[in-house]
Structures are given as C-alpha cells and as structure tokens.
Structure 1
Amino acid sequence: MTPRWLDVATPAGQLRALVWGPDDGPIALCLHGFPDTAYGWRKVAPALADAGWRVVAPFMRGYVPSSVPSDHSYHVGALMDDALRVLAAAGPTGRDVVIGHDWGAIAGTGLAAMPGSPFERAVLMSVPPAAAFRPLGRVPNGLRLAAQLPRQMLRSWYIFYFQLPWLPDRSASWVVPRLWKQWSPGYHAADDLRHVDAAIGVRRRWRAALGYYRATVRNTRPPAQYAELHRHWLSAPTVPTMYLHGRDDGCATADFAPWVERVLPDGSETALVDHAGHFLQLEQPDVVGRHIVGFIGAAR
C-alpha cells in the first residue's frame, strides 16, 4: 500500500505523518521509537487498513521530514502533545486507538494514562510501562526482578553512553546498525537502516534523537506547555491496553512481562511474540497484525 501524507503545524514546528487506509475510518495513531521511523509501521499498516482503520504514523519531532522543535524539548510530555496535535489534525472520531513502539510506547503509556484520554484502547510494544516497576522496594517478586537488572543494565549501555559529551553526537554511523543487530538478531534491516539514515543521519537530527534520552535520564524540567501531560507518563494505563514484546528482544528482556500484567486495567492483554526481537512489528508483521486487530477489533 502506498501511504499518503498528513502535514501538521504545531507551535514548535512541523510534523509530517504517513497515512494508510480509508479516509473516514477511526484512527490508529502509530508512534515509532528509536532508532526507527514512521516507515517502521509499513508492514502492519495493511492489516489495520484492511480492518477499516486509518493508520496515521507521524515522524517524531527531530526526525526528517518532521522539523527539529524550536523549543528544543524532547520530554515525554512534548511527544504526547505532538501525538494529540496529530490526532486533532487527522480528525478524531471517538473510536481511536494509540499504538506505540519503543519511545512511542513510552508516549503511548502517558496517553493511555492521562485523565480523559481520547483513545479507547492502547497497544504498547517493547518498552514496559514504568509503573510496572514502581514503587521501588515494594514491587511483587522483587528479588526475581532484581535478578534481571544486571543483565538489563548491560543491554542498556547505550543510554549511559548517550549522556557523555561530544562523543555520542558523532557516533550515529556505528551506533544505529549495532543497535539493530543487537536488538533484533537475525533480522535483515537494510531497508530500515536507509530510512533511519534519511531521518537522523545528519548530526543535527542525530543530536535531536539523543535528546530524548538526555531529557529523560537527566530529569530536566519540561517547558510549561508540556508539564501537565508530562506528569502522566510514569502512571499506569487506565484504558484497556495490549502489551506486546518480542521473545528474542535484545534491548529489553521479555521476562519483564509478568510485572507489566499487574499494572494493566481490566480488559487488557499481554503476549510474547516468538521469533521476534525488539522490532517485532517488522520481524513478525502478520503475527503482530493479528494480535493488534484481535484486540482493537475491526473498525468497519
């Protein structure tokens, strides 16, 4: 399916989104992560469109062809604000859903947790809601969880590396292919790497992508216009939510799934996808598409 474009003007700059499916269907707002692009939804979009959903997949702020934000905010609240503006521009129907992967899952968690969420359901992929591991010290099966942390810290080396001055800003050429190989072993990512290079291959855009990690790890204060939204991203979803994780994920272990289950509301589901790593929607698009459509239902 050939996508069409949706352009969205925001106070911080321009967002561009790919759109698949019927012009009048309810919206499946698909939010990508790092290091990926809106083209990462191209393989599951046909299944959603065939079920009557209008798939709207924005390029997140800083990723070509969206602009580098003039407010230089990469806080989760800013990502949530962008998503809501894309939804508003596309024309909300009251039956819409949000589907997020990686950073898109982090923003999607906030959107599914915010009071009066405009989304009926949410699908989160590959990054567990932060609420699954809170409050610290009182998480059920804490010793079992703690046993996972040393290996997870090794997997998350890139997060700490991105906090260094100067050096990470000049590392896109080797970091991106290394992460794809580590996170989705055995997946041939040549086409995806071309899309990623076009989106964040130049230094200014790569620095924007790193900004997501720096704003979060350094816990900097978001601009006032995002503050209210920002405070919800650490909360548990309140709308029915499906959590999907690749069983072979080299980024975040699939073993976190039991802790995710405990914080999801009634009507939610979790599933592990066999023979898939971090980019499960690209590695097993038919399986992932069936899971998503089975959960959100047909829109016809």
Structure 2
Amino acid sequence: MSEATGIDRLTVRTDDLELAALAWGPSSGPLALLLHGYPDSPHSWRAVAEQLAAQGYRVVAPWTRGYAPSDVPRDGSFHIGALAHDARELHRVLGGDGRAVLVGHDWGAVAAHAVAGTDGQPFRRIVAMSVPPLGAMLAHDDGRLAWLGRVGRQVLLSWYMAFQQVPVLSERSLDRLVPLLWRRWSPGLRSGVEVDAAWEAIRDRRSEVLRYYRHAAPWSRVPRRYRAAQAGVARRPVVPVLYLHGVDDGCILRDWSDRTLSVLPPGSRVETVPDAGHFLQVEQPDVVAAHVLAFVGVPDGDAERADP
C-alpha cells in the first residue's frame, strides 16, 4: 500500500482472468465493488472510493476485462453477460459476503443492471450511474410519440456507437475521440487527470475496448457460460437499486431517469445530480458518495439505516 495515497494495487485471479485493481479501506470491511465504464479507468473512482473506505468499506475498483493492465479474455467475449459474470466472480474471489454492494458507471452500470436481474446474485444493494436499465429506455407510459422523440434525440447523442463499429478507422481515431467524448459528455469538467488515466488503459487495447460495443448487439453469439447473466439485463431487478444521473449528461438523456423508478423493485431510488454530466463521480464526488452511503448504509449501521 502507498501510505501517501492509501491505495492498494491488487491482482485478482478469477476463474479465467487476471484483473488488476485499485483498492482502498480495511481488508476486513464489507466489499464495495466499483466498475468503471468507457472511456475510463478505476482512477475516476478515487474521490468516491476514499469516502466509502472512510466509512469502513473495502473498496475494490478493477480495470475491467480488456483494459490494460487487466487480461484480454481468452474466450474473446466482451458481452454484457461476461461483464456481469466477472462482477460475480470478483465477489467470490475477494471474499464478499451478504454485506457486499456493487456500484457501476456507464458500461459498469450495464453490468450492474445485468447482475441486478439475475437470480441468486450476491450483492445486498446495487448502484448504477449514467446508463438507466433497459426497461426504462423501453417504457412509453407517456405515449409512443413522446418515446419516439426520446429515442430520436438519444440516437443523435449515440452516434459514436455506430462509428465504433467501423474497423481500423475507429481504432486509429481513439486518441482524438476519447478526450472529445469526455468534453462533450461532461461539459463542465476541466480536469485531465482521469482522461489521461483512461487513455493509458485504452492506448494499447483499442480493439479490445471497442469490442464492448461490437459485442453489444449479437446476443446469439454470447458464450453459453454467460447467457444467464446476459439475460439479467432485460429482467426486472431482484435487489434494490439506486440510479444516479447527471443533470448535464451529454451522453445519455436525463429524460430516461424520469422513467427509471417505475421499473425498479421496492426500496430503490432515483436521484439526479446537479452540476454534473456523464462522469458525475469525478465532477461531484461528495454528492455521489453521499447518495451511495445513504442508500447502502455504513458497515456498523446495518442495512436498515439505508432503507427509504
């Protein structure tokens, strides 16, 4: 451990992957597993992780599969089900128990939604940030025309997803695209430290990172071992979920958050974070940490403290 920063560097071996991770807090504390998204790295969790660790959690934030210095998976899968599988494996390998919580941002949120919808999932509570559950994006309780309008505006924001299906050209553009996306998705963010850390994790793994998007659609090609976890993303969660969304998010429409609570189970919450865009854990870490701790509780206060 670095005494100056209070950060551990871990190498965690799951059933078929070696994942590098950052960790904070007492080794005896309940597990708080934090999953980053794209284009990002565990370093963006630092300010939030420090606050969770100060309350007694053992916080672990891995570089997810394919991001350097973690392994590239031998089976070549970057499907949602594979990410959810990794989260459950990390719970097992890290000695997680019934007190463990899962927090995911962006692709980490997609993985968290899949875990939340899987029977027998091991986490007490789950927090997802910046990407709502699939059910919220399919809901048209205010009419099909209004829903089509939201979808149309979201498609305009999601142009990069189509571009990243283009081989070679998209890989070559990432050195310019990564900082561009950070600027557009979080217009008020001026720090470059997290962007630099993200690029360090992506620079030599460009094709691997882009496969998160290239494997998002072909559900029929999901390896058998990940199919149950993959199905969880389309199911109603079986555990309470906190959903957080930045008011100024330039990647995912804030409008989807208005429909999120209706597709979540009892005990769930939805909160929007002012003065924050897509990377709200970097822009407003104190607010994010406060919401997370209010929902999951502190280790010496039992789960009841977090109940609404």
| TM superposition score category, shorter chain reference | over 0.9
Structure 2 alignment gaps of length 5 or more:
301-308
Q: Structure 1: how far apart are the matches of 2:100 and 2:15?
A: 24
Which residue among 13, 30, 35 is the counterpart of 2:34? 30
- Per-residue CA deviations over 1:155-198 (Å, capped at 9, x if unaligned) read 10000101123211211111101100000002023101211121
Normalising by structure 1, we get a TM-score of 0.95
8 Å contact kept, 1:64–1:200? yes
Superposed CA RMSD in Å reads: 1.3
Please say if 1:83 is aligned against 2:87: yes
Cross-structure match for 1:113: 117
Cross-structure match for 1:222: 222
Q: CA deviation at 1:235?
A: 1.7
Cross-structure match for 2:68: 64
Which residue among 87, 95, 100 is the counterpart of 1:96? 100
Report 1:43-58 matches (<5 A).
Answer: 43-58=47-62
Count of matched residue positions in the alignment of Structure 1 and Structure 2:
295
Please say if 1:178 is aligned against 2:180: yes
Q: CA deviation at 1:220?
A: 4.7
Which residue among 13, 17, 21 is the counterpart of 1:13? 17
Cross-structure match for 1:267: 267
Q: CA deviation at 1:236?
A: 2.4
8 Å contact kept, 2:188–2:276? no
Greater Cα shift, 141-150 or 50-59 = 141-150
Report 1:162-241 matches (<5 A).
Answer: 162-202=164-204, 205-241=205-241
Cross-structure match for 2:154: 152
8 Å contact kept, 1:12–1:71? no
Please say if 1:126 is aligned against 2:126: no
Structure 1 alignment gaps of length 5 or more:
none
- Aligned-partner residue type, residue 174 of structure 1: R
- Aligned-partner residue type, residue 141 of structure 2: P
Cross-structure match for 1:141: 142
Q: Structure 2: how far apart are the matches of 1:208 and 1:113?
A: 26
Please say if 1:4 is aligned against 2:8: yes
Q: Structure 2: how far apart are the matches of 1:189 and 1:237?
A: 35
- Aligned-partner residue type, residue 116 of structure 2: A
- Per-residue CA deviations over 1:53-85 (Å, capped at 9, x if unaligned) read 111111100111101111110001111111112
Q: Structure 2: how far apart are the matches of 1:278 and 1:177?
A: 13
Greater Cα shift, 19-28 or 213-222 = 213-222
Normalising by structure 2, we get a TM-score of 0.92
- Aligned-partner residue type, residue 184 of structure 1: S
Q: CA deviation at 1:5?
A: 2.4
SS of the residue corresponding to residue 163 of structure 1 reads: coil
Greater Cα shift, 6-15 or 206-215 = 6-15
- Per-residue CA deviations over 1:262-299 (Å, capped at 9, x if unaligned) read 10110111010000000000000001110000110111
8 Å contact kept, 1:248–1:274? yes
Which residue among 75, 78, 102 is the counterpart of 1:74? 78
Q: Structure 2: how far apart are the matches of 1:160 and 1:112?
A: 27
Q: Structure 2: how far apart are the matches of 1:188 and 1:152?
A: 25
8 Å contact kept, 1:29–1:56? yes
Q: CA deviation at 1:7?
A: 1.7
Q: Which runs of 4+ in 1 moved over 3 A?
A: none
8 Å contact kept, 2:35–2:64? yes
- Aligned-partner residue type, residue 131 of structure 1: G
Cross-structure match for 2:279: 279
